[in-house]
Amino acid sequence: MSMKSIACFFLCMSGQFFYSQVLITEVYYNTPFNEKLYFNKKVNGVSTGELLDAKKHHRGEFIEIYNYSDKDVNLKNWYVKDLLRTFWLPEKIIKKGEFMVIAYSVLPYDTTNFTEHFSTTAGKESQIIYQDQIILRNKREEVILGYTFNGSNLLNKSKYSWEFQAEPSSNFVKNIHQTPAQFYDYNSLQYNPTTYPDGKYEAKPNPLAANYIPPTQSYNDIVKEDFQQNYSYLDWTDDVSFLVDKICPVTIEKLSQSPSGSYINNGAACFSYDTAGNLISGVGCSSQNTPPSGSSGLSIDELELIKNSIIISPNPTKSSDSYNVTITWSGPALNKINNIQIFSSSGITVYGFAPGTGVNTTTFNLQNQLPGAFVANFILNTGQVVSKNILKW
């Protein structure tokens, strides 16, 4: 199909660089493979070839995406959608500077072997994602790539759309599976804002490659605005493995001492701990054989209620706020907090506060601290600790 042969054609590729780590770089929507679900051919009243036609439907269609950031990106919580449906991408890593193809296939059976259609993708099966939700229409369609932090607020990041005055003529090539090189005879929509001012052009398909490769940009710069607006939904998943695997190569020798002299209760002391291992109290024992039993502390639900009643504002803190941070607490947390400690990401204490009875607020300033994440620990009167994060831009 040639775009020039259409009386009225509109193509829009908007939002390609709108805070998106990954963007759409190519769409191949008018495949020469069969695009009819059914031929409705009947022999003796029975449809023949009906299932076969459905299997072949729209094979060869693909949407190509590219990670132009300087960081590998997990595609979990990313989606591709058209005017009818949404396909959620699998938990799969797209490496920095890497292309990936989202190809149409009938799932879970008779999966399209995409590399048989486009020989230039041979040996790159790890960069192909198969889906059966998005079927690209030829006359009018819109393809959007985006992601979400919380599962409901969809952030659309990259878009292709096209519309023709009339239905484009079919590209159907009979038995194309026998001569798959013909897939390259029909153009795809591709992205190139350098050569083409409006960013759009038509050329021979080249999945998992491109004539124009977007320049690499800083991941942190790209996602900064989204993180500011959706900070409360971040779960630090990308950093958990690093923190868990980080082992401090320091050993501390265990020493024990037996002081001389006479002491009450023969120097014995009993300590009580909750189920999480937090110290509740330490007192002398009336009998070494019957130490006092400790309180089990607050339940998980009670701790969650206390945590939710602690408000940190503004968060993140910015220069427009003079980097002042105010913490308030009420309800379940009132008179439950013995101490508040604020730590930088390097573990340095930057603020401490011990509220008295009836006190439910404190304010401090991060003006002299480097931008980044801070941890606020709230030590309760049970010895348990709840934590919240603070961000400074």
Q: Which two tokens stand for residue 330?
A: 């009420």
Query: Which residue in the block uniquely carries the two structure tokens 């910015």?
Result: 318
pLDDT at 226: 83
pLDDT digits (tens, 9 = 90+) for 352-371: 999 989 999 999 999 999 98
Task: Decide: 211 and 187 in contact? Cβ < 8 Å.
Answer: no
Residue 281 and residue 319 share a domain: no
pLDDT at 38: 52
Is residue 144 one of the residues assigned to a domain? yes
Q: For residue 286, give its domain range.
A: 267-296
Q: CA 221, CA 21: separation in Å to the nearest integer?
A: 10
Number of domains the chain is built from: 3
Residue 87 and residue 220 share a domain: yes
pLDDT digits (tens, 9 = 90+) for 219-240: 988 888 888 777 766 666 656 6
pLDDT digits (tens, 9 = 90+) for 374-386: 999 999 988 899 9
Is residue 239 one of the residues assigned to a domain? no
- Secondary structure class of 116 (helix, strand, coil): helix
Residue 187 and residue 71 share a domain: yes
Quote the pTM value.
Answer: 0.58
Residue 342 and residue 282 share a domain: no
pLDDT exceeds cutoff 70 at 156: yes
Is residue 338 one of the residues assigned to a domain? yes
Give me the mean pLDDT over the 77-101 stretch. 95
Among residues 184, 226, 386, the alpha carbon closest in space to that of 304 is found at 386
Give me the mean pLDDT over the 19-34 stretch. 89
Could you tell me the CATH number of the domain that includes residue 224? Answer: 2.60.40.1260
Residue 322 and residue 178 share a domain: no
Pick the range with the lowest mean pLDDT from 51-60, 315-324, 365-374. 51-60
Please report which confidence band the pLDDT of residue 390 belongs to, taking 50, 70 and 90 as the band edges.
very high
Domain boundary (233, 249, 275) is at 233
pLDDT at 289: 42
Is residue 42 one of the residues assigned to a domain? yes
Mean pLDDT score across all residues of the chain: 80
Residues 6+ apart with CB under 8 A from 164: 6, 8, 9, 138, 139, 140
